[in-house]
Structure 1
């Protein structure tokens, strides 16, 4: 049986970043994912905001990881061809009480090292965002909060893992395991594997994995559902900055922002539920989100909503990150990573690497993979000749892009993975017009075929 230096359980945003970190050090890395593809759990529904940590708890591990992750992402994004939509953010106060809290929020931001923030009066907010409701009383401007591609960075990290000799195994739920004093034997739905050390990045099932393999869990996952509504691309002309609410102890609240794909997004809700696997969209909550968006930007009233989705965040009984190490059994659990996880992932990976404090020395990394651009504000594949055909007209996805994804070093495991790699079937018609053609192109090429597909 092959023996790996590190097994990472979970291929979400944190798992991909952690696996990359160890692979670039020369470790032989195994990634075990219960889903059919990377980002198939909580990570697929992230809001794609690159945070500064301005409102993170002062001196917290979360703040440290956010800021390290933010810095590393900006350092590598050009090499990987990862888009950045430079929006900035405004924390808008809509009431006298919220306005009174902006001063404390500014002081917290500066204490966290985000010293380019400033409080804006209502008149300046209206100058920057003329479509914003005149009810805005004041705001805190955070210039370095931006919008990024929610999926391509982590595909790039996973691709680096494979390029370094690592292995990604899907449909591989970890069901049991044992530590023999030297390393771990892990039983999965895809067979048995051995690794000298384990990092549990299982997200919504992090406590379950700890219970199964360690016999105890130091935290309890309490899933929190977040629903989002996506406005038509015409809405992007109405907004520049990310519009944030004044945060509460429980939630960052409902955000209104542009997306890298040319839409406007509103959400998420914050709904507690017991189910860890199903995140359904519900009409009352979506109507409330759309109404809230129209309160913030009145011109959004009547703007078509072209998509809605929901995701589950791996909240726990405590707000802070739940990262624990069992040194004797060479095990680290990374749990309770919620809304800041996409930004913090690279910083979390640095922290986990430091906890092990030993292992293979860093090696010369191969050239970083360059991701195909999916951002609407940058040149797209359909603008270059030779693309064969446009398969998805809503998102202008070419056959060349689809073929490249299917034949790449990290091909999609299911239709969701293909959508995240290309944006196909994610536009106005939600696949109504292109699903038949996509079925033809992907026939026999997805481990989990589309419904009605021949195997």
Structure 2
């Protein structure tokens, strides 16, 4: 007992003096929030219940950088999506963040959908997406000859592109850490107490004290708000999205993001290339109570495969590399649930679902603006950013294996080198588990899904991850 109390005391002391802001959740939005607050001179601690960043809803998305052409006009979502898009384009070269310049088409496949395209065009123009235009059937097939012959027309949105969905938030978090932000993993929020103007947040390892709290908890956003405030202004209704990843050979059949005509409930099933050279179809939209396990199910995967073949018939012969599922933090209302109680130093970015990858930088600016206007603001000056180059994982750009001295290929499916594994493990924000290593390097994400490289990865990472890789593997 005395040793336990001593360990706890040491951890409590390590948390230090009160910080300006505790950011709860290290998903895409939390990483962007940490970066923005740190750039503006705030002292920041990020707490995350999982062993690594992007371990919740953020790890599964379609990796599209949206223009906001179909966002509700005048909405916070539209503002944040477009601000996020612009900022990503401004900073991406500083961090070596790739884009795949594809454009997107909202394709109509029957009379009803074709009749809605002019309305979508009007909305795009109202939202400032001035380069959107309608395409005839002949123009659609000239651009994408592999599409099903029953396509009727499309709305072309040229500036929609594909990005690396994991390197971008890793860049935000790493920059935040370089500017002084602290990251605490395996640090789920247990309880909270507001004492005058200070929050005291109880974590498994001790207590952190802050002048304000920013809730970026994603799928657990309403639960965290209840812990902090006693009640929540919104209710998370987890929405499962399943995906199929086709083999890289399938990517030749499509060069444009293929979007469906959206409904009031969902953006629908997308068919798109990935920056890693694959072809992706999904997501489904299945509401469920469970918040931890987004299982894949055969009927829905069969539906996705059939849908892909309906849109691009040549995919009937394509091989599937992987299937996966993620949970989107949908709420009882479609719009973002961004709100604040400045008198309590509480700020929330909740209900961020389909457009969160694009909007994250914009959401961070928006919430920081609310924070800066409140009594919680410290008035500290903006600090000079520190930038750095992330390794490229994009298939269409030069990769590490093409440069000599790479210490051998560890994962042959994705051509991941020993040098890349070591660089990830020795980085300023190293992975905490196997999922984190995969997202930083793409190891074990190819055709064999780790069958051939798992033992080598377990050996290379032994003692270097908080959650070991397959300790039972026979080396």
TM-score (norm 1): 0.99
Number of the residue aligned with 2:462:
443
Number of the residue aligned with 2:430:
411
C-alpha separation in 2, matches of 1:367 and 1:212: 35
Q: 1:399 aligns with which of 418, 428, 440?
A: 418
SS at match of 2:213: strand
Question: Is 1:314 equivalent to 2:333 in the alignment?
Answer: no
Tell me if structure 2 keeps the 8 A contact 1:176–1:187.
Answer: yes
Q: 1:354 aligns with which of 364, 369, 374?
A: 369
Number of the residue aligned with 2:227:
212
Give the drift of 1:190.
Answer: 2.4
SS at match of 2:190: strand
Number of equivalences:
454
Give the drift of 1:453.
Answer: 6.0
Tell me if structure 1 keeps the 8 A contact 2:179–2:386.
Answer: no
Tell me if structure 1 keeps the 8 A contact 2:199–2:210.
Answer: yes
Structure 1 residues 269-328: Cα deviation after superposition (integer angstroms, max 9, x where no partner): 000100001000111111110110011111110200000000000000000000110111
C-alpha separation in 2, matches of 1:102 and 1:445: 52
CA RMSD of aligned residues (A): 0.9
Structure 1 residues 425-452: Cα deviation after superposition (integer angstroms, max 9, x where no partner): 0000000000011011011110111122
Task: Kindly report which structure 2 residues correspond to 1:25-424, keeping only aligned pairs within 5 A, or say none.
Answer: 25-357=40-372, 358-424=377-443
Tell me if structure 1 keeps the 8 A contact 2:268–2:283.
Answer: yes
Structure 1 residues 111-156: Cα deviation after superposition (integer angstroms, max 9, x where no partner): 0001110100000000000111111100000000000001001111
Is there any run of 5+ residues in structure 2 with no aligned partner, and where? 1-12
C-alpha separation in 1, matches of 2:439 and 2:228: 32
C-alpha separation in 2, matches of 1:118 and 1:333: 36
C-alpha separation in 2, matches of 1:198 and 1:347: 19
Structure 1 residues 249-280: Cα deviation after superposition (integer angstroms, max 9, x where no partner): 00000000000000000000000100001000
Tell me if structure 1 keeps the 8 A contact 2:178–2:386.
Answer: no
SS at match of 2:135: strand
C-alpha separation in 1, matches of 2:226 and 2:471: 38
Alignment CA distance shift 1:306-1:293 (3 Å): same
Give the drift of 1:369.
Answer: 2.1
Give the drift of 1:366.
Answer: 3.8
Alignment CA distance shift 1:411-1:453 (3 Å): farther
TM-score (norm 2): 0.95
The range that moved more, 363-372 or 26-35, is 363-372
Question: Is 1:24 equivalent to 2:39 in the alignment?
Answer: yes
Tell me if structure 1 keeps the 8 A contact 2:102–2:256.
Answer: yes
Tell me if structure 2 keeps the 8 A contact 1:443–1:453.
Answer: no
